[in-house]
Structure 1
C-alpha cells in the first residue's frame, strides 16, 4: 500500500554536485535541464487520481482487502495520505464529487478503533473552515455517525477524535449546532468532562465555550446538566489548559444571572476556596511559571469579582 516517495537522495546529490558553495552558479546544460525536469515530473502526484485510488480501496469489501493482505495499518497509512490531500480546500471539496466521502464516513463504523479514530481525523481536516465540505458531510448524515462514536464508542481515543471532528463540523454552521443540541450533544460533553482523559476534557471544554458564546440560551442547558459544578472541579486540574478552559467556561456561564443566583449550581463558599487556593498556588510558582500562568490568574481574578458581587 505504501507509495514510493520522491528520489530525494538523487536530487540532493545532483544539487550538491552543481552548487557546493565554492564556485559560482553556472547555467544548466540542456541535458541537465531535461534530466531535472523529467526527474521532478516523474515525482509529481496527480492528487485527484490518487484520491480516486484511495476511494476504490475504501469501497472495497473487507474480504477482498484481507485476500490482498491489506492490513489495518495499511488503511491507517492510506488515511494519513488522504488527510494530507484534503488539507487543500479544493481537494476536500473534490472528495465528495469523486465518491470518496460516503466510504470515508463508513470507516467511522469500522471494527478497528484506530481506523475509526483516523477517519474522524480526516473528516475534521476536510470540514475545518470549509462551509462546502461541512454541508456535504451534514447531507451525508456525517454528524449522526460522529455523534454516535463520540457518545458510544468503546474506545476512548476514537471518542476523542470524533469530538474533535464534531467541533470542526459545527463551527459557524447553524444547522450543525442545532443538530448537536437536538441529539443531546451536551450530555456527551458532560460525560467527557467527567472522564479521566485530559485530552477529552480539553476538547469538550473548548467546544462548550464556543457553544455558550454562540447561544446565550444554551446556558440554561448547561446549568440544568450541572456544568458549573463540573467546571468548578476542573479549575483544580493538574493540566493548565484544562484549568484555563474551565475558567473561561465558568466566566461565560457567569454572564447568566441564573448561574450567579442558583445555589444548586454554584456553591459560593467552595468556589471561593478553590479560587483562593489556585491564586496562592500561582504565587508560589517561579517567575517563569507565573508569567506562563498570567492568563489563568486574570481569569481567576475576573471570576472572583463576578461571584463576590453576586
Structure 2
C-alpha cells in the first residue's frame, strides 16, 4: 500500500511534465487508468477530463490511443465508486461534440452503464449520469426510445423524489425530454403520458413544494418550473402550482435593472448618446406665442 501511495503522490508531477496533447504523452497517462490503486485511477480520469474539454484534437488523440475503452471499463466495472464517477466525467468530456465518440459509447453498451450509475447509491454518480443522458437526448431524438426501452423512466421517477435537489431537477429534466414529442413527424413521445406512477410522482412533488417554507421555495425555482412543464406536456393543462401561486413567486417575474449594459456600453455608442443629450440641452426653448 505504501508503494502505491508513493505512485499516487508522483502522479501529478509526472503528468504535468509530459506533453499531454500527443500520443507520447497520453499513453502513460492512460496506463494510470489501469493502476491497482483506486485514487490513481480516479486522478488519471480527472486529468483526461481536463485535457479533452472543448479540445477536438485531444479528443481525437485519446480516441486513437484507445482511451475511451479504458475509461468505459472503469466506468462500468471499477470496484471503487469514486473511480467510476471520475471515469464517467472523463467520458462525458470526451464524447461531447464528438460524433465518433458518441457512436463508440453507444456501441459499448454505454446506456446500460448510465442506467446502473443512476441506480447506484452515489448522488454524484447519479447526477453525472443524468446530465450526460440529457446531452445525448438533445443530440439525437432516437436516443429517447433507447432509454425508454432500457427502463430509464422508472429509474428517473425514483430519482425525481431524491433528497438531493440537483438530482431531482436532473431527473425531472430527463423525464421532460422523454415526454416531449419527437421532431421526426411521428408525433409520439418516449414515455407513456397517462402513466399512473408519473402522475403520482408529480402530485407528490407538488405537495412537497406546497409544504416548503418561503426560503426553501426560492432555492427550488427550477424544480417548480420543471414540474409545471412536465404536467402541461403530459396533461395539456397548467399544474396546480400556478393556481396556488407557487410557480412564480413575488419578484421572480421582475427583470433586474439594466445596469450592466450601461457599464459595458461601447465607447462610440456612449459618446454618441452623450453628444445627443448635450445637443438637446443646447437647443433654444421654443415658445408657443410670439416673443415679447
Give TM class, smaller chain. Answer: 0.7 to 0.9
Q: Which residue of structure 2 lines up, in the alignment, with residue 271 of structure 1?
A: 198
The answer to whether residue 29 in structure 2 is matched with residue 104 in structure 1 is yes
The answer to whether residue 183 in structure 2 is matched with residue 290 in structure 1 is no
Note the 1:21-170 alignment, pairs <5 A.
71-81=3-13, 85=16, 94-97=19-22, 99-170=24-95
Q: How many residues align?
A: 231
Give the C-alpha shift of residue 184 in structure 1.
0.6
Q: Which residue of structure 1 lines up, in the alignment, with residue 285 of structure 2?
A: none
Note the 1:290-309 alignment, pairs <5 A.
290-309=217-236
Asked whether the equivalents of residues 137 and 143 of structure 1 are also in contact (C-alpha less than 8 Å), the reply is yes
What's the RMSD between the two structures over aligned residues?
2.1
Structure 2 unpaired stretches of 5+: 182-187, 238-292
Change beyond 3 A, Cα 1:208–1:100: same
Q: Which residue of structure 2 lines up, in the alignment, with residue 26 of structure 1?
A: none
User: How far apart, in 2, do the equivalents of 1:224 and 1:254 lie?
Assistant: 14
Asked whether the equivalents of residues 96 and 102 of structure 1 are also in contact (C-alpha less than 8 Å), the reply is no
Asked whether the equivalents of residues 23 and 65 of structure 2 are also in contact (C-alpha less than 8 Å), the reply is no
Give the C-alpha shift of residue 74 in structure 1.
3.4
Give the C-alpha shift of residue 209 in structure 1.
0.3
Q: Which residue of structure 2 lines up, in the alignment, with residue 194 of structure 1?
A: 119
Give the C-alpha shift of residue 274 in structure 1.
1.4
Note the 1:113-262 alignment, pairs <5 A.
113-256=38-181, 257-260=188-191, 262=192
User: How far apart, in 2, do the equivalents of 1:172 and 1:152 lie?
Assistant: 26
72-81 or 247-256: which moved more?
72-81
Change beyond 3 A, Cα 1:123–1:82: farther
Q: Which residue of structure 2 lines up, in the alignment, with residue 49 of structure 1?
A: none
Give the C-alpha shift of residue 101 in structure 1.
0.7
Deviations 1:150-178 (A, max 9, x none): 01111111111100100010011111001
Deviations 1:158-211 (A, max 9, x none): 111100100010011111001001111000000011111111100000000000
User: How far apart, in 1, do the equivalents of 2:218 and 2:6 lie?
Assistant: 45
User: How far apart, in 2, do the equivalents of 1:218 and 1:286 lie?
Assistant: 38
Q: Which has the higher helix share?
A: 1
User: How far apart, in 1, do the equivalents of 2:59 and 2:151 lie?
Assistant: 30
Give the C-alpha shift of residue 267 in structure 1.
6.3
Structure 1 unpaired stretches of 5+: 1-65
| Structure of larger gyration radius | 2
Give the C-alpha shift of residue 129 in structure 1.
1.1
User: How far apart, in 1, do the equivalents of 2:150 and 2:116 lie?
Assistant: 10
